[in-house]
Amino acid sequence: MAIFEGAGVALVTPFKENGEVNYEKLEELVEFQIAGGTDSIIACGTTGEASTMTHEEHLEVVRFVCEVTKKRVPVIAGTGSNCTDTAVYLSKEAERHGAEGLLLVSPYYNKATQNGLKAHFKAVADQVKIPILLYNIPGRTGINIAPETIADLCRSVSNIVGVKEASGNFTAIADLMNFSDGCADVYSGNDDQIVPLLSLGGKGVISVLSNIAPAQTHEICESYFKGDVKRSASLQIAAIPLINALFCEVNPIPVKAALNLMGMNAGPMRLPLTEMEPQNQERLKKAMKEYGIL
């Protein structure tokens, strides 16, 4: 059984002006997501700025999100690293703190071989019992997890169950679906490609858009699963201008700006990310108004 089906949110981490995690606002964001019908919460991923957190902060955010969520929806913890020992440590601790799944990005910078990737992911999987999703985002990591590698891991390692696919390469995704023959749960890592991926048998999306439009993102998936593909596609198309605005600067700069525009006080970025450029913020504001969420 899949960890979840539908729209999971790649949750932002709100910060105070002094850079500390704002747990009061984090609780509000979790409740906003659950009220909006989000099917899963992914804590401490790229959108959550995990790369700028200490290990202690990272794990405390995971623990807090699990505590607030109270198993109303599954919590998946981002615990990937380019150091296998670090990924093992974060994964074991996230499991201990209540995470119901893990999201493991491919080791960035090192640029491991496909056999190295297999060894890395197996080493983590051997140390935990909860299900694992791989995260393929070569634009950020510099390495692609080949479809054959994903399929092999999902077949041979019982708790590696699928992948968040953000390569945008639909030929590779179709190959993965063919090679895995149903043993890999595939989620879109790109908000503009939800419906195309669902059409290949995907389970849903791990979404940035859902931070500001949880009900609408959930409905894209729900409509598809109910057989109303035409409505699902129309909802996907209607969201494209907003999605484009959310990615006109590197994620999560625009989505944090969007939450702040909505009065949800996600706070500042941590360096090296900086605040959104004024002209892009105007573009984002316009798209949000046209979409009806501002």
Q: Give residues with Cβ within 8 angstroms of 257, minimum separation 6.
A: 275, 276, 281, 284
Residue positions annotated with a catalytic role: 135, 164
pLDDT at 1: 79
Amino acid symbol at 213: A
Q: Are the CB atoms for 157 and 128 separated by under 8 Å?
A: no
Q: Percent of the chain at pLDDT above 70?
A: 100
C-alpha span between 88 and 67 (Å, rounded): 22
Amino acid symbol at 189: G
Count of H helices and E strands in the chain? Answer: 12, 8
CA angle centred on 56, ends 51 and 59, rounded to 5°:
80
* pTM, to two decimals: 0.97
Q: Which CATH architecture best describes the domain 6-227? A: Alpha-Beta Barrel (3.20)
Longest dimension (CA), the chain: 49
Closest CA to 288 of 212, 211, 193: 212
Where are the chain's structural domains?
A: 6-227
State the DSSP string of 14-44.
-B-TTS-B-HHHHHHHHHHHHHTT-SEEEES
For residues 136, 139, 141, 146, the Cα torsion angle rounded to the nearest 10 degrees is 40
Low-confidence spans in the chain with pLDDT less than 50: none
| Phi, psi for residue 16 in degrees, rounded to 5 | -75, 170
pLDDT digit string, tens, across residues 151-189:
999 999 999 999 999 999 999 999 999 999 999 999 999
